[in-house]
Amino acid sequence: MPDTTYDPLAGLRGPGTPDFDVFLWGTVFLDIIFTGLADRPTGGTEVWADGMGSSPGGTANLAIAASRLGLRTSLAAAFGDDNYADFCWRTLSEQEHVDLSRSRRFDNWHSPVTMSVAYDGDRSMVTHGHPSPLPATELIGQPPRTGAVIVDLGDIEPLGDPSRSTWVDLARKDGGLVFADVGWDPTGTWSPQVLAQLDHCDAFLPNAGEAMAYTRTGSPQDALYALADRVPLAIVTDGAAGAMGIDAKTGEEARVPALRVPALDPTGAGDVFGAGLVLGTLAGWALADRLAFATLCSALAVQQFGGSLAAPGWGDIADWWQDLRTSGDQSSYTRSLRRRYEFLDEIVPSVPVGAVRRAVATIARNADVTNN
């Protein structure tokens, strides 16, 4: 049965609605993922893998995660002129329905590549690539009208410069909400200048380690309180402990535990969480429901191998909820899940039977990475 698009924001659309729900910029990698290794590779050895898949990675992980959740997604990125770029472009635009009108192809610029090896619940990666031939603001120009942009504060030009507006500043001026993330600082500096940019953001989604380091606090909870003084929506993810957040606009504070699932590959889990949170925010859900939904999306992703390969669609979410509701398991934990996700009862009945599910994207004619 072909995939059927489900639009979770259909009831909110009307005249004057932005062209897109999410607009992104970043580097698209070709991800080559090996799974099912009997042992970790060491010097002078060759290890065969039971499974292999290829898919667009990097910023494409987030774009695909958002698109599979029914968000109208546009991505600006540099693409080369090689076969890898052809594959990534085709997969994003034709299979995943991501708009690439702000992306550009460049002659004699080869695609960035990451090889990921999943072993024993963790992963190792080898990456090669070069910076975009054009900086983001020059490549994008005036961004399209969008409900939200998602940015890595360490990967963009400084925000709020009165002498030169970045593409993020322009998008926010046009009504887009800025959801910011930040990567690990290998220098250990944790510069306060990063947090200073939160004055020009609407939400901040660091993990617990990053949040504590930047705020100089001793616990994820204290880090959350410190961040809530600086940005309207502060979210801190804390691995197996779940996620917590404060929405200063609504006065809500919530904490949601992680789901108990076997985690096979954490690649892209943060991207899936971010996409789920953006959807819930644009839809106007309560903070606890936003956190629960984002946590569910992340939990569904980590049970599969392979970054964007693992991003769930509404079909996967509907399947999970129906299985939970009809399960004969009456343990206290399962009953708590039914209560926590009861809000899905108002959404899942609208999801068509053929709604988008995970897809296998690979250069090979058939992939060996399974997502069942």
Contact 302, 263 (CB under 8 A): yes
Task: Show the tokens assigned to 61.
Answer: 């992980």
The C-alpha atoms of residue 269 and residue 319 are separated, in whole angstroms, by 19
pLDDT band at 363 (very low <50, low <70, confident <90, very high): very low
What residues pair up with 66 in beta bridges, in sequence order? none
Look at residue 1 in the predicted model and tell me its pLDDT.
37
Look at residue 333 in the predicted model and tell me its pLDDT.
93
pLDDT tens sequence across 35-61: 888 888 888 999 998 888 888 999 999
Q: Per-residue pLDDT averaged across 250-274, rounded?
A: 88
Q: Tell me which of 66-75, 164-173, 185-194, 268-277 is least confident.
A: 185-194
Q: Per-residue pLDDT averaged across 187-197, rounded?
A: 89
Q: To which residue do tokens 């992703």 refer?
A: 301
Contact 159, 151 (CB under 8 A): no
What distances in angstroms separate CA 163 from CA 137, 158, 160, 299, one per listed residue?
14, 11, 9, 43
Using CB atoms within 10 Å of the CB of residue 220, give its burial: 0 to 12 exposed, 13 to 18 middle, 19+ buried.
buried
Look at residue 54 in the predicted model and tell me its pLDDT.
86
The pLDDT of residue 307 is above 90: no
What residues pair up with 113 in beta bridges, in sequence order? 30, 128
Look at residue 3 in the predicted model and tell me its pLDDT.
53
Residue ranges per structural domain of the chain: 11-181+259-312
Helices (H), the chain: 59-68, 83-90, 136-140, 167-173, 192-196, 208-215, 220-228, 269-283, 287-302, 314-326, 332-340
Look at residue 304 in the predicted model and tell me its pLDDT.
79
Q: Amino acid identity of 73? A: T
Within 13 Å, how many C-alpha atoms sit on residue 285's CB side? Answer: 25
Look at residue 366 in the predicted model and tell me its pLDDT.
40
Question: What single-letter DSSP state applies at residue 15?
Answer: T
Look at residue 306 in the predicted model and tell me its pLDDT.
65
Q: Per-residue pLDDT averaged across 272-300, rounded?
A: 96
CATH classification of 11-181+259-312, choosing from 3.40.570.10, 3.40.1190.20, 3.30.420.40, 3.40.50.1110?
3.40.1190.20
The average confidence (pLDDT) of the chain is 89
The pLDDT of residue 322 is above 60: yes
